[in-house]
Amino acid sequence: GRNAPHFISSVFWAGLTAGVMALVKANGRQFCSRPRLCGLL
């Protein structure tokens, strides 16, 4: 259908965002320079 490319891109970006968030949470303490940002992780 017409929505196939949009659906695929949505799933792709959702997965990419989730992956980035996981990496940030896993490595947050190493990259964190501001305590306030660390609190969000």
How far apart CA 37 and CA 7 sit, in angstroms, is 32
What's the confidence (pLDDT) of residue 35?
63
Instruction: Say what the pTM is.
Output: 0.54
Least confident of 4-8, 11-15, 34-38: 34-38
Looking from the CA of 22 toward its CB, the CA atoms found within 13 Å total 6
Burial of 31 (0-12, 13-18, 19+ CB in 10 A): exposed
pLDDT tens-digit readout, 17-37: 999 988 888 876 666 666 665
What's the confidence (pLDDT) of residue 29?
64
